[in-house]
């Protein structure tokens, strides 16, 4: 679409092909926070089609994470995965939100470099054939002050470790390795897996009637070429009140101790306490399907392009 700049506002004219009608999109850039916001969508007759209501989230008061991420994407090829918030639903379950999809890798062997049962469940829901291997690294040794950067660095460290384990050399069948990491942001603080039941209870109680964001990083690596793509997706969960008795019951079962931020949205007791989620559940589970497919397609395309270039160069 054509883009017009008007002192802090980007206006684009787009055509909706299915209905053969034009829409005017007004996108506002806040000069104080550098945040990109969809202000309104109107028809040529001036009829308003969309006026977003943006509830607050834990990332709102951070030092321009969106701008920092966008700036880095220009140099490292990380796509900024922005999409319209999913409608509120009472079915926060993987079985209702993730359906089988064609594997973008085709016949190339797919390896999920994660011990997470939630990520494995997402791959099963997609009906993808894959092998699961856990990376053996100390995640606490990989630190970064930017919450958009740290999970990417950890996911890349996992990939580096598994590349040594898989040992795919030139001439062997190729492999596409998927590694991930996730952190949770609450009140501008990074939360990883709780270190004790007491901390897990503290985490859960603090979420009552508030919002918490997950930052999920995905890294896909082609072996043996070493071509790699990475990206980040943020999802925000809005909670109702969480009673103390329910907190004790959830923590005593122990599963939340293995989850970043100390919560599992599919938990039978926690699920009814969710007021809304601005993305689908796969993103909250640390395996955002849309982002993963996008990265896989870009990876396969680049590898095929390189292979075509090599063949054309070697042709007499």
**Residues identified as active-site:** 181
Q: Where are the alpha helices (DSSP H) in 254-316?
A: 281-284, 289-314
Using alpha carbons, list the distances in angstroms from residue 45 to 15, 21, 50, 55, 82.
14, 11, 14, 29, 28
Count of CA atoms in the C-beta half-sphere (13 A) of 18: 0
**Three-state SS at 10:** strand
Q: Residue 237: name the closest of 200, 270, 198, 196 by CA.
A: 270
Instruction: Describe the strand order of the beta sheet including 36-42 as a list of residue ranges.
Output: 2-6, 9-16, 21-29, 36-42, 48-50
Peptide bond between residue 303 and the one before it cis (omega within 30 degrees of 0): no
């Amino acid at each position: 679409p054509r883009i017009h700049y008007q002192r802090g506002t980007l206006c684009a004219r787009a055509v909706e092909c299915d209905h053969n009608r034009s829409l005017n999109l007004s996108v506002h850039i806040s000069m104080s926070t550098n945040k990109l916001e969809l202000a309104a969508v109107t028809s040529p007759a001036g009829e308003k089609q969309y006026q977003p209501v943006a509830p607050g989230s834990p990332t709102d008061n951070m030092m321009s994470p969106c701008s920092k991420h966008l700036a880095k994407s220009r140099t490292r090829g990380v796509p900024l995965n922005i999409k319209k918030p999913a409608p509120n639903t009472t079915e926060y379950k993987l079985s209702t939100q993730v359906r089988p999809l064609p594997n973008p890798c085709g016949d190339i062997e797919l390896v999920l470099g994660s011990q997470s049962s939630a990520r494995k469940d997402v791959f099963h829901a997609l009906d993808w054939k894959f092998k699961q291997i856990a990376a053996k690294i100390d995640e606490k040794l990989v630190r970064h002050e930017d919450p958009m950067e740290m999970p990417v660095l950890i996911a890349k460290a996992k990939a580096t470790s598994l590349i040594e384990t898989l040992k795919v050399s030139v001439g062997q069948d190729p492999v596409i390795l998927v590694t991930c990491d996730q952190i949770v942001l609450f009140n501008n603080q990074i939360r990883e897996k709780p270190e004790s039941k007491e901390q897990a209870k503290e985490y859960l109680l603090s979420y009552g009637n508030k919002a918490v964001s997950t930052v999920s990083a995905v890294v896909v690596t082609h072996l043996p070429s070493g071509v790699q793509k990475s990206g980040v997706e943020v999802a925000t969960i809005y909670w109702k009140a969480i009673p103390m008795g329910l907190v004790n019951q959830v923590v005593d079962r122990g599963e939340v101790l293995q989850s970043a931020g100390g919560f599992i949205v599919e938990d039978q007791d926690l699920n009814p306490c969710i007021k809304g989620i601005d993305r689908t559940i796969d993103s909250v589970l640390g395996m955002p399907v849309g982002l993963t497919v996008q990265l896989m397609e870009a990876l396969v395309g680049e590898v095929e392009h390189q292979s075509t270039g090599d063949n054309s160069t070697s042709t007499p």
